[in-house]
Structure 1
Amino acid sequence: MSLRDVLEVVVKAYEEALLDDRYELPSRNQAGINLLLAPINRYVPPFTRSWPQLDTSITFEQMYDAFLAHMLSELMLARVDWLKKGSSPANPSHAEVEHSAAG
């Protein structure tokens, strides 16, 4: 799998989790800024959290590594106990459809 393939899969899952309240992502309200700051948070030592100098450089690999690590860590904290086999926000199970139609 190429880096692009991995990015597409992870970003799709992350977007789905952000858009569906049932996943209860912990930092959902700050998702954009947290993702933008992921490279800084990953490569600047934690106890010297001063803003990096403008001439600080990282590679594309490091930048995308930080983005992927951030999204994957958020997805690992997502609530998934509501999921059932064959059910997803885009494809609810038959029982969920019946329940929502009855309610």
Structure 2
Amino acid sequence: MKNITNQLNYRNKQKEMERMKMAKKGTQKETKVEGIEYIFQHPGLLESIRMRDRSKNEGGSMNEENLYKELMEHVIFLKEGGKVTFDHFEEHEGFKDVIKEAIAFTFR
């Protein structure tokens, strides 16, 4: 009986480890673009799906402006603190690179 209990405990631990590997919500990635340090924070699977849905226009096509706004609101942050906006990129280079990395990180 003890052997069966040990096997069940081992399986439960394996399942928990697998679940932890798959967890995305709250995971972070630091990146540096054009000398500025950014942090990407994953909003979780469900919120990333919602972000994608909110970024589509009435015809179901992706509206890039809305997608970028969603990423800046929920994923992209300055390492020194604060949110990133379009105004930030009016004064700093690297918009396309930051967005490209944020998309890859969020929707992998």
Normalization by structure 1: what TM-score?
0.30
Normalization by structure 2: what TM-score?
0.29
Relative to its length, the structure with more strand (as a share) is 2
